Structure 1
Amino acid sequence: MMTRIARFWLPAFLLLWTGAAAPAAQGEKKISMKTAPPAVREAFEKQFPQARVLGVSEEKAPDGMLYEVESEWRGRHYDVTYKSSGALVSVEETIPMAEVPPAVAAALKKEFPSAKVVRAEKITEGGVLSYEFQLKGGPKKEAKFSAEGKLLASE
């Protein structure tokens, strides 16, 4: 009896489990800048002339494909996301803590007093500015604040 259960249910479980995991693995796909849509390449080159492209990925979103260009420009790291039309979706710029607005820095210190900032990013998405931090030594690993210092999310 146990052998029959193991022969049927174990393969069925594995099939369902790997089938459910497949969409997560298919999310983001690395591509070359040459294979990105021309509108994406043109928009990036116009916005970030002479930037060094580190990588490009594409990801299917509910309203179409998104393309993220990871780059270095003027000594900074950028992750820039575009729609296939070349429309800008978001810009994530790694910044030093000295460039974080005082209200945001104070809110970060208040919310996570024991955490050390590993990375600070200035994010512009849909015309809205926010700041995201990778943290170490505290209860949370990431925190996102509005430009005014309001905690938006943490994990």
Structure 2
Amino acid sequence: MADEELHENTATADDAEQVDEAVTDVADTSDVDESDDDVYGFPMEKVEAVLNATVDKSEVTPQMRRMMQRQAENTRRVEDSIKGTKANPAWFVPLFCALMIIGLVWAVTYYLTGNYPIPGIGAWNLAIAFAIIMVGFLMTMWWR
């Protein structure tokens, strides 16, 4: 483990030296047409090839190999999490939204009229409105 950390620290120091040299080279040259791809020591074509996994394995640096392994692991993890996801039917979201809106309209109607939507039951209209809103709200907890 210590050898790996030492190797990584050495590689980081080497990378830092390469970056310093590249920055110095870029600063020394006044040629505007020169590409900035090599400023960090790696041409963008190689980085893109690594990310796309289309590079020859023998030409890859250890840092790029680690980057490829991390990218592959992240891709695998995301694909696994997508496979395990269950989705709700298409009618689920519109239904719970509609229930909450209907409950709200029911309560507002009762407050404004004092007798409707169901005449003769009085304040039970508020209980009905609250029950409809709560059913819609409870459905949101099962939304995936």
Query: Taking structure 1 as the reference length, what is the TM-score of the superposition?
Result: 0.21
Higher strand share: 1
Higher helix share: 2
Query: Taking structure 2 as the reference length, what is the TM-score of the superposition?
Result: 0.22
